[in-house]
Amino acid sequence: MAFYSDEPLIGKHKTIFDTTLRDGEQTPGVSLTNEQKLKIARQLDKLGVDVLEAGFPISSEGEKQNVRAIASEGLSLDVCGLARVLQKDLDACIDCGVDMVHTFVSTSDIQRIHTIKKTREEVVSMAVNAVEYIKDHGAKCMFSAMDATRTDLDYLIEVFKAVEGAGCDIINVPDTVGVMSPSGMYRLISQVHSNVNIPIDVHCHNDFGIAVANSLMAVEAGASQVQVTVNGIGERAGNANLAQVVMCLQSIYGVKTNINTEYLLETSKMVENFTGIHMPPNTPIVGDNAFAHESGIHTHGVLEKADTFEPGIMTPEMVGHRRRIVLGKHAGKHAVKQSLSEIGIQPTEEQLDEILSRIKTIANRGKRICDADLHAVASAVLGKNLGHETIKLKEFSVMTSNLTTPTAVVRAIVGDQEVTASNFGVGPIDASLKAVGSMLNGYTRIKIRDFRIEAITGGSDALAEVTIGVEDEEGRVVTAHSASADIVTASVDALVTAINLLLEKKKLWSMQ
């Protein structure tokens, strides 16, 4: 069901062009390896992207090899290469065996005069020649009028008509410097759509935070394809965000795409991991808080019926996410009762009131409430130990120097057996956490979802608090924290606590 008033869009099909591996990699500080690019390409194919811009082959020999490798991967999507309207660029793309060549030239006066130093007539001629060259070599062709939103409208339409006449398959209208307003984008695409008969694609930058809005307005005005990047990465402030564009189109507008939305979170996390650019928790669709609730009023409503305080037309399951009830100073009894029931604790009303009071007291000190805190408070209020320690840490040691790879050795009782494990990592904390994780064979597979270090006191003997979230293979997350003057010790203690609580929860879940 779509709530938007533009009824003609309901049921229409739009395609998604992903440029994470080209414009996305142009994010300052991001450099992907060949293997990472291949993994992202495969993931985008799994996600259902229609076209993947694999790179800019002429930029380097390594880039050309990357594009060729992706093009030869046998993916279901169309692989595209970027090229200026220069024969050497076009040949580089064609040599890679791409399905589509995306060729571009500046059309705005400011770029045309000051960068490529060509007349308007020369630009038209170069664009037409490039399109004809691509089509003569049997590839699909997309033509992009770079800086289209700052180009004189009559001239822009002249260029687009010329490349249409040369056999171009699809034209791209890029908001290269992100200056177009949503209403302006609607008017521009409407004008182009009424003058050109081939499909229209849009590429919006996020300099003012409206790339998604501009992309949606373009679709309303007649665009049939949207260019996006995973997590909205890209030059400067980035590009239109894939997950946000897709879910707005499908859930609000009722538009159809080929995207398998249940893989949106999985795709976002992969790109986060490879690029090192982590999404804020309040990021729409894929952020940790996208479906998290703390307020007592909200959690009460959501626990009764999710649609009360969630969009309804988009559920966490639709995007591969999970709903979370978060405890804090705004928590209510329903949230605490639900969280306790998940770990098999059924307190009386009096005990529940006391647990809630203590949780709020902790939160009012500015502390984040984690799962282990709730467990500890409940144990104290009920007057008994509510958990079983599957892992009992005995000792651990870490060896590190500027000449050796950090290595950790951990000894613990796991179940009823003593186990010694060792592992190495990029630092002492990484090595220690990997060593603990390797002890879990036969119990569960985990990955660290959240890791934060916060200084509690200052000075050379400062206490540091480490908060860790661990996730099992079914996507369930449990958090714990620990404080110590030694951040490695705090990290290991927090991880062991989180794992023990997760295993307790899994035991209960398996019985339900």
Per-residue pLDDT band at 57 (split at 50, 70, 90): very high
Asked which of 53-57, 143-147, 214-218, 436-440 is least confident by mean pLDDT, the reply is 436-440
> Does the pLDDT value for residue 381 go beyond 90?
no
Per-residue pLDDT band at 465 (split at 50, 70, 90): confident
Asked which of 120-129, 207-216, 391-400 is least confident by mean pLDDT, the reply is 391-400
Element (H, E) at 359: helix 349-363
Kindly give, in sequence order, each residue whose CB lies less than 8 Å from that of residue 316, ignoring residues fewer than 6 positions away.
Answer: 290, 291, 322, 323
Q: Give me the pLDDT at residue 459, please.
A: 60
CB contact at 8 A, 165 and 137:
no
Which one of 3.20.20.70, 3.30.470.10, 1.20.210.10, 1.10.1740.10 gives the CATH number of domain 13-275?
3.20.20.70
144-172: pLDDT as tens digits: 999 999 999 999 999 999 999 999 999 99
Q: Give me the pLDDT at residue 386, please.
A: 58
Q: Residue 121: count other Cβ atoms within 10 Å of its Cβ.
A: 8
The listed range with the strongest mean pLDDT (287-301, 384-398, 491-505) is 491-505
**Taking Cα atoms as reference points, which of 237, 127, 250, 121 lies closest to residue 175?**
237
Mean pLDDT of 394-422: 87
Mean pLDDT of 116-135: 98
- C-alpha span between 223 and 318 (Å, rounded): 25
CB contact at 8 A, 374 and 326:
no
273-320: pLDDT as tens digits: 999 999 998 999 999 888 876 555 555 465 567 677 677 889 989 999
Asked which of 32-36, 120-124, 464-468 is least confident by mean pLDDT, the reply is 464-468
Angle between helices 87-95 and 120-136 (to 10 degrees): 20
Average pLDDT of the residues of the chain: 88
Q: Give me the pLDDT at residue 5, please.
A: 46
- C-alpha span between 458 and 461 (Å, rounded): 7
Q: Residue 238: count other Cβ atoms within 10 Å of its Cβ.
A: 22
pTM of the full structure: 0.82
- C-alpha span between 390 and 211 (Å, rounded): 49
Mean pLDDT of 484-500: 87
CB contact at 8 A, 178 and 147:
no
* Structure tokens, 373: 């805190």
Interstrand relation of 407-414 and 391-399 (parallel, antiparallel or unpaired): antiparallel
Sign of CA dihedral 446, 451, 457, 459: positive
DSSP state for residue 37 in the 8-state scheme: H
> Does the pLDDT value for residue 26 go beyond 90?
yes
**CATH architecture label of 391-511:** 2-Layer Sandwich (3.30)
Domain boundaries, the chain: 13-275, 292-382, 391-511
Q: Give me the pLDDT at residue 231, please.
A: 98
